[in-house]
Chains A and B, each alone.
Chain A
Amino acid sequence: MNESRSAVVVDEESTRATDPVGASVDVGAPVIVIQPQRRWSLGIRSLWSHRELTYFLVVRDVKLRYKQTFFGAGWALIQPIMLMGVFGLFFGRLAGLPSDGLPYPIFVLAALVPWTFFSSALGASSRSVVASSQVVSKVYFPRLIMPVAAAAAFLIDLALSFTFLVVIEPFWGIYPTWRFVFIPGLAVFALLTALCFGVWLSALNVRYRDVIYTVPFLIQALMFASPIGYPSSLIPENLRALYGLNPLAGLIEGFRWASTDVNTNPASMVAVSFATTIVLLVSGLIYFSRSESSFADII
């Protein structure tokens, strides 16, 4: 009984240990208060208390993604490899873009690994709430779990494509350096970057289905605005901090720096991008928690 009691579907902020009337209700039984305007919150604590559900949704998404496909998890690699070929041919060979001294294919692939994760995770998380409308209108759980789980499910793909990058780097004479210790941190950064857009868009999508049409456009625009096929050293020195306002700029330069032996110093750009990400993420979380109570009514 005590075991199951801790599984309570309840927001901690509305849980009290004792009954206000002081009557003989079990101490420890949560009191759930239902009222119109809920308190301000970012919803992060309820995310933690529902981590098992998040886990199950991630597992579901991963299992479903490549069911009944011929290549299966190979798809995690096919997309970045194809793009690497396209970029290599058109931007590397024909346009002759610089690559900070790296072999061009590696230069591009090191950017495509976080980029592919970002674009897939963003797409999935912005669709997530509307895609689960059936569940949203029938049962309560913190809605934030949906965009988070949808994005997190692509971390597996990120790990696969990163492994592929590491495996092929030696063919161009590049070997792992101490900078690898930053990779896990950058993976978290990548997740936050996808979520800083995804949380906003998944909530907006419930009310305005316009979002479905905006996302592909947004992804396309960000692809050109991010240093994937070209190095950010092309940007004039004094504008580079401004360029970092694009969260992807810092993420990609940081990832490229950590996964190769490239001779750049992206620290300041990473800092600016990270700050942008956090601002977008926090505002998104606030918007999400303000609007989630009406999801079931308008979805």
Chain B
Amino acid sequence: MAPMVRAESLGKRYELGENTAGYGRLTDSLSNVLRRRRGQEVSERREVWALRNASFEVDQGEVVGLIGRNGAGKSTLLKILARVTTPTEGRAEIHGRIGSLLEVGTGFHQELTGRENVFLSGAILGMRRAEIQRKFDEIVAFSEVEEFIDTPVKRYSSGMGLRLGFAVAAFLEPEVLLVDEVLAVGDRKFREKCMGRIGQVSREDGRTVLFVSHDLNAILSTCPRAMLVDRGELVADGPSHEVAAIYEREHAAFAAVEGSFERTTRNPQMAERLFLGATVLSAAGGGHAAHGEPLTFVLRTNPEFPAREFGVDVRVLDARQRPVAYMSSLEMAGRYFAPGDTVRCEIDCLALAQGTYSVDIGAAIPFIQGMDLWSGEVGFDVVRFDPFDSGSTFAPDDRTGGVVPAHHWSREDDGS
């Protein structure tokens, strides 16, 4: 049996730098041509391999999860397979139609009605008109927006829009389905329905699914096999519980880094970097923290950043990328900062149990837009957890969660 998907040393190189990262300017290209003629240095271009040497095979009916940190290359791989972007090197063969679900509601237009959008989005995703017509009722039923199907989508709640968008994609019938994080949206009930649909598609129809997610639990429950992508390379491939274990161990290798990092976002609105570096300070140092002790995040910001002021959000995620704590200067303290400030966020008394945590740093002006997001580049390990000096060996799991507030135990009539 030949594999449905065969990739041979796929690689994708991006050029970073003024003239290629986002908008090109004609004059830049012309002046580079002139300089090259005169034998002068062309303005510096940095090249980044978002993906390199990715080789793998996926058989029919397999459901494979792709895991890795933000910017590791998962999405690049998916985009190459979806033919949204072409690889710089290597080759892949896919036997059958490819359906890509890199976004919910691809091609939706706010002014059009739900019905019109189902046809439009379906056609953009690769369905024929007859096929959409045949499945129309099922799609609408799945989305649970029957009553509003002839209302413009701009009048929908965001949840309704997402449901309809997913419903269209859920009824694609490609031989190979590529799914990217889209299930991180919507309410929990609908998320579960989506996951169920993906599982059903592979089990009953024998379709091949490649599924990218940050949510290790989703991968573990849906995909028997997983691949781990790190810094553009495929570093592990096997049963998903084994790969997930490697991923969690890798995360434990975090040190407090004075960050200097590659920008991975391709979003032009985020092309300006606000955060230049981040440091995690603790008594023990080296990225090691202890429950009940202070922990401080120091964030250096760019004085050139084109904004007057902004708020800073810090989010702490556990090794499975589940958020466990959130601190926001604007939402909670009403505090603004200006570009160039070195921002300190001090936790007096850390309430986390033993484990590895990563930190997302965001900047925002509420109701305007996210300005910069720095995800998973710094982290810390809680290496000591013994709030009562009792020699506790407690390790958090799914049942307990990792947050342990400062507390003590007593009997009500004690001490009175």
Binding site for B on A (CB under 8 A): 3-10, 19, 21, 23-25, 29-36, 38, 52-53, 55-57, 60, 63-64, 67-68, 134-141, 207-210, 293-294, 296-298
9 A–B contacts, CB within 8 A, in A order: A29-B95, A34-B92, A56-B123, A64-B109, A139-B100, A140-B84, A140-B100, A209-B25, A296-B79
B98 lies within 8 A of A32 (CB): yes
Could you tell me the distance in whole angstroms from the C-beta of B79 to the nearest C-beta in chain A?
7
Extra A-B contacts (4), CB below 8 Å, given A30-B95, A60-B112? A32-B95, A56-B129, A140-B82, A209-B23
The 4 closest A-B pairs by CB, nearest first: A23-B2, A140-B83, A9-B126, A7-B128
Partner of B86, one of A10, A31, A293: A293
A34 lies within 8 A of B127 (CB): no
Answer yes or no: B94 CB below 8 A from chain A CBs: yes
Known A-B contacts A34-B91, A52-B123, A207-B24; the reply to A8 vs B86 at CB < 8 A is no
Answer yes or no: B368 CB below 8 A from chain A CBs: no
Closest to A214 in B: B26
**Distance, CA A5 to CA B127, complexed state (A):** 10
B91 lies within 8 A of A298 (CB): no
Which A residues lie within 8 Å of B25 (CB)? 208-210
A31 lies within 8 A of B90 (CB): no
Answer yes or no: B175 CB below 8 A from chain A CBs: yes
Partner of A23, one of B1, B123, B127, B130: B1
B128 lies within 8 A of A52 (CB): yes
B14 lies within 8 A of A297 (CB): yes
Which A residues lie within 8 Å of B14 (CB)? 297
**Distance, CA A209 to CA B23, complexed state (A):** 7
Answer yes or no: B31 CB below 8 A from chain A CBs: no
Known A-B contacts A19-B2, A23-B1, A32-B98; the reply to A139 vs B107 at CB < 8 A is yes
Closest to A68 in B: B111
Could you tell me the distance in whole angstroms from the C-beta of B49 to the nearest C-beta in chain A?
14
A35 lies within 8 A of B87 (CB): yes
The range of chain B's interface size is 35 or more
Which A residues lie within 8 Å of B89 (CB)? 36
B92 lies within 8 A of A33 (CB): yes
Closest to A61 in B: B109
Which B residues lie within 8 Å of A207 (CB)? 24
Known A-B contacts A21-B2, A24-B2, A135-B106; the reply to A34 vs B86 at CB < 8 A is yes
Interface residues of B in 91-131 (CB under 8 A from A): 91-98, 100, 102-103, 106-107, 109, 111-112, 116, 119-120, 123-131
B119 lies within 8 A of A67 (CB): no
B93 lies within 8 A of A32 (CB): yes
B97 lies within 8 A of A8 (CB): yes
Which A residues lie within 8 Å of B131 (CB)? 3-4, 7
Could you tell me the distance in whole angstroms from the C-beta of A265 to the nearest C-beta in chain B?
42
Could you tell me the distance in whole angstroms from the C-beta of B134 to the nearest C-beta in chain A?
9
Answer yes or no: B278 CB below 8 A from chain A CBs: no
Known A-B contacts A7-B126, A25-B95, A34-B94; the reply to A138 vs B111 at CB < 8 A is no
Known A-B contacts A64-B112, A208-B24; the reply to A31 vs B95 at CB < 8 A is yes
**Beta-carbon contacts of B7-36 to A below 8 Å, as 1s and 0s?**
000100010000010111110010000000
B96 lies within 8 A of A29 (CB): yes
Partner of B124, one of A5, A32, A53, A68: A53
Which A residues lie within 8 Å of B151 (CB)? none
Which A residues lie within 8 Å of B258 (CB)? none
A60 lies within 8 A of B95 (CB): no
Partner of A137, one of B84, B129, B175: B84
Answer yes or no: B257 CB below 8 A from chain A CBs: no
A138 lies within 8 A of B97 (CB): no
B94 lies within 8 A of A3 (CB): no
B130 lies within 8 A of A3 (CB): yes
**Distance, CA A60 to CA B112, complexed state (A):** 8
Known A-B contacts A3-B131, A31-B95; the reply to A298 vs B20 at CB < 8 A is yes
